[in-house]
Amino acid sequence: MGNMMFNVTTKSIQWGDETLTLETGKVARQADGTVIATLGETSVMANVTYAKEQKPGQDFFPLTVHYQEKYYAAGKVPGGFFKREARPSEKETLTARLIDRPIRPLFVDGFKNEVLVMCTVLSHDLVNDADIVAMIAASAALTISGVPFRGPIAGARVGFVDGDYVLNPSVDDMDMLRNNPDQRLDLIVAGTKDAVMMVESEAYELTEDEMLGAVTFAHQQIQPVIDLIVSLAEETAKEPFDFTPPDYSEIADRVKTLGETQMREAFAIQDKQARSAAIEAAIDAVKDQLTEEELEDTNLWPAFKKLEADILRGDIIKTGTRIDGRDTKTVRPIVSETGLLPRTHGSALFTRGETQALAVTTLGTGDDEQIIDALHGTSRSNFLLHYNFPPYSVGEVGRVGSPGRREIGHGKLAWRALQAVLPAATDFPYTIRVVSEITESNGSSSMASVCGGSLSMMDAGVPLKAPVAGVAMGLILEQDGSYAILTDILGDEDHLGDMDFKVAGTEKGITSLQMDIKVAGITPEIMAEALSQARDGRLHILGEMGKALSEASDFSVHAPRIETMTVPTDKIREVIGSGGKVIREIVETSGAKVDINDDGVIKIASPDGESIKKAYDMIYSIVAEPEEGQVYNGKVVKIVDFGAFVNFFGKRDGLVHVSQIANRRLNHPSDVLKEGQEVKVKLLGFDDRGKVRLSMKVVDQETGAEITPEEASED
């Protein structure tokens, strides 16, 4: 019966260690394209729908990509009170962006019908990450949907272990990234048969060559997946949507004739605000001369954009000079300052040209870690980076709401760039939160956040392995193969280039590389040259940052101090006490926060050094064992005929035998001692029953120094 109802098509290949399967025809048959992709036992369904006509007056391409992880995929129920998948997690937002970036430029130019791509994780085997599977499913669904998409694309994740590239490392391997010195890379590449479209990565100071090698390796590895999608499409693709790209050469020529001169003059103005105003004026001057009909043409805006791009691109290639007067390699002037804000733990203001980030670091304790609820289990994060981009930073008024996708994406890029140089949690037991407030923007604010974040963490006393800087690069490639690589691009240059890429790293190597490529034809040679030019830019910026601060400064007096101590695991129960009684007493008496984990690592935190010492001593007295031969300060607690009991170590008492009290014969210990008296005792050892043997007479009661037998006999 089932077969009569469904017309199912399935294609599989062996890919890396797993089988990759694409299936269509059974589920969600009313969508324009649905594909379920499965790698191992991770399955993602992608559904594509598109509007069959364009909204009137639509002047941009309305593509929306959603990615959602359903908890049932891993056999779990969502946390929290709500018990239902709610707003997208950071991972979901970033994955949606990851799929959006490579597919967006591949829609046929001029296509402005609404397109919705929805990816739903249906099953997760906790080995194969669903993000790559979702990208492949989305590409396959687009390819069979009939929408004018010049794909297919495929994606792969690459790891780097012992000098070898690894295809699709497991989720666990990637979770280990920060704690595993062997695993030095988490890189995702998406591309078509001929071209790399997108790169996103987190690296541990890899060289430019190692990074480029990983990109090339990934591009080779996705080829069989692209072939698989093509073979699925040959059997199942819908009729292509009847779409003829609009010919707007007529209106474009008209705009060029009327506006080129004034537009060129406008772009020659170096100040961003003044330039924007002059460009607006030039556009208005052209509009004044157009007919009603021309003004209503939906291609009027693209015609203006084309004119702007022609002016900017042509000039840079011809003259090597950019709109703000720079050559292609110069970084705009940089000013770095640290320690601006009196009460924060660390602060820095990083200004590069007309881009400025105020980065502030806060050091918190274990309680401040972020708990991340994910399909493959909850994890804790002790490094947070939040990026805010308010409208005033570009001189605009606008709605201010919760962070958008772009803010989350830029924040994560800066996070990736910085996390490679953080000290190990065992050496620096703090939760670190960096907030980057973008106060001015023209050109990469995410890279300014990396530079500012690095400085503000050092200002807060975080012992980074090395300072990190980032630079945004652009590339213009003409039909004839001539090209220009631009260092430190402006906002206006961002949109008209054919590739923009951001490289962050230390003097030693790259910690994050992000590329978005809009055209085919960017060869590995061009990429290599671009990476090398980016390295020069990065080293220049690191030099400028070094003028403000080149290593961690003193720890802020306002930050909590955290001391760590390790106790034997069999003593953890004693420190906690029944029902937590002992630890509560320690916290109340000392005023410090005390945090114990299962391995016996105890963190004691307080802004006040005294209270840390108090808590430390209290814990120490519970777990430590007295050592033979050591001298201790003690207090007489009880006097008996044969000696005195002295409390000398935490709660421990020991006997000083009457013969060990003084260097002469006593009738009774009370001749020289009374209860409550403070004495100095040496631990002689333990008797057969494990009881402590103490001596007073071998210690000078004034100084606490040991007395040798010769000195004693001279008395």
Strands 431-440 and 377-381: unpaired
pLDDT at 609: 81
What is the helix (H) or strand (E) element at residue 134, kind and residue range? helix 130-145
Judge whether 200 and 156 are in contact, CB under 8 Å: no
Angle, alpha carbons 214-183-545 (nearest 5°): 80
Q: Rounded to whole angstroms, how far apart are CA atoms 422 and 439?
A: 26
Q: Which of 545, 358, 362 is nearest to 460 (CA)?
A: 362
Residue 715: C-alpha distances to residues 229, 697, 699, 708, 709 (Å): 99, 12, 14, 12, 11
- Asked if 166 contacts 158 with a C-beta cutoff of 8 angstroms, the reply is yes
- Pairing, β 593-596 against β 9-15: unpaired
Q: Return all residues near 276 (Cβ < 8 A) that are at least 6 apart.
A: none
The domains located in the chain, with CATH, are 2-236 (3.30.230.70), 249-297+299-319 (1.10.10.400), 334-546 (3.30.230.70), 561-623 (3.30.1370.10), 631-714 (2.40.50.140)
Write down the pLDDT at residue 176.
58
Separation CA 449–CA 267 (nearest Å): 28
Rounded-to-integer distance, Cα 71 and Cα 503, Å: 35
Rounded to a whole number of angstroms, the CA Rg of the chain reads 34
Rounded average pLDDT per 10-residue block, the chain, 715 residues: 80 96 96 98 98 88 96 90 90 96 93 96 95 98 97 95 91 68 89 95 95 96 98 95 85 84 84 85 87 80 84 84 88 95 95 96 87 80 94 89 91 95 87 96 94 96 95 91 91 82 96 92 91 97 92 82 86 87 90 87 86 88 81 87 85 84 84 86 82 85 75 52
Q: How far apart are the first and last CA of the chain?
A: 110
Q: How far apart are CA 691 and CA 697, in angstroms?
A: 19
Parallel, antiparallel, or unpaired: how do β-strands 370-374 and 377-381 relate?
A: antiparallel
Query: Which residue, among 349, 352, 333, has the nearest Cα to 341 in the 3D structure?
Result: 349
461 φψ region: left (φ > 0), alpha (ψ -120 to 50), beta (else):
left
The residue to which tokens 């392995």 are assigned: 465
pLDDT at 711: 57
Distance CA 502, CA 517 (A): 12
Closest CA to 513 of 557, 593, 447: 447
Determine how β-strand 431-440 pairs with β-strand 383-388: parallel
Spatial CB neighbours of 572, under 8 Å, sequence gap ≥ 6: 596, 598, 600
| CA separation, residue 442 to residues 357, 438, 439, 492 (Å) | 11, 10, 10, 8
Question: 292 in helix, strand or coil?
Answer: helix
Q: What are phi and psi of 149, to 5 degrees?
A: -120, 125
Q: Which residue has the tokens 């591009």?
A: 219
Closest CA to 471 of 510, 440, 439: 510
What would the 3-class secondary structure string for 557-581 be? CCCCEEEEEECCHHHHHHHHCHHHH
- pLDDT for the residue numbered 178: 59
